[in-house]
Amino acid sequence: MSAIGIHIHLHHFKWNPKKTNEGHLSQKGQPGGISYKNWDVLTLSSDGNGHICARVVDHYNAVARRKLPENPQLWVFGYDMEKMKPRGWYSIMMPLFDVEPENHDDIIYATKELQDLANNALNQTRSQIKAAWFEYPEERKLKENKKKKDKTKGDTSFIDLDFWQQTEATFYLTVSHIAHNLNQQQPALTSEQAKYWRNTINQ
């Protein structure tokens, strides 16, 4: 297994593809860390989707991918900063897949669909847990407005973290299916593969 390391703050950029006059913004660490919801932006460049990954990753995708050992991974790391002060250090390994250049946009599109489904499932999960915690879901907002937030009851960040961790392996398995299928000029996922992803995020 080989690894490519990049610092999340310096080397890849995002922009709004519909607003060509706007500048490119570097992607920075965020509260909650780095997860597979960032995978497509960190591993593939796409002008149409408005992101450029690190040069070393672009080089791998263009040239080196056929020369490196099996199962290469991208090591992403960086600080989550607020007002020039570090709030936390994040580090994660992400797999790199053998994707033909002409299939980059297709795998990005398919991956974003997986991420959107995961976000929807997470939002529903979080809402149901809040409803179970409080008699009325709006009670949490009321407590926050009155600055009487009970962190034991009201902090839901651990739900997000657990969700991304519990579904990560299946996400990358599904992306590997997408890469293989697209390289074989087949639909991104079979019905069985898509169903497996749906069942995983809805458990």
Task: Answer for the pair 72, 1: CB distance below 8 angstroms, yes or no.
Answer: yes
The residue with greater pLDDT, 188 or 91, is: 188
Task: Answer for the pair 50, 14: CB distance below 8 angstroms, yes or no.
Answer: yes
Amino acid residing at 3: A
Give the angle 169-171-177 at the CA atoms, nearest 5°. Answer: 105
What is the reported pTM? 0.78
Q: Residue 99: which pLDDT band, with cuts at 50, 70 and 90?
A: confident
Share of the chain above pLDDT 70, in %: 69
Backbone phi and psi for residue 66, each to the nearest 5 degrees, phi listed first: -90, -5
Q: Residue 143: which pLDDT band, with cuts at 50, 70 and 90?
A: low
Residues making up the chain, counted from first to last: 203
The residue with greater pLDDT, 47 or 30, is: 47
Q: Residue 10: which pLDDT band, with cuts at 50, 70 and 90?
A: very low
Asked whether residue 121 carries a pLDDT value surpassing 70, the answer given is yes
C-alpha 155/C-alpha 184 separation (Å) is 45
Q: Residue 65: which pLDDT band, with cuts at 50, 70 and 90?
A: low
C-alpha 184/C-alpha 163 separation (Å) is 31
Among 57-71, 114-128, 135-149, where is mean pLDDT lowest?
Answer: 135-149
Task: Answer for the pair 7, 77: CB distance below 8 angstroms, yes or no.
Answer: yes
Residues 108-130, mean pLDDT to the nearest whole number: 93
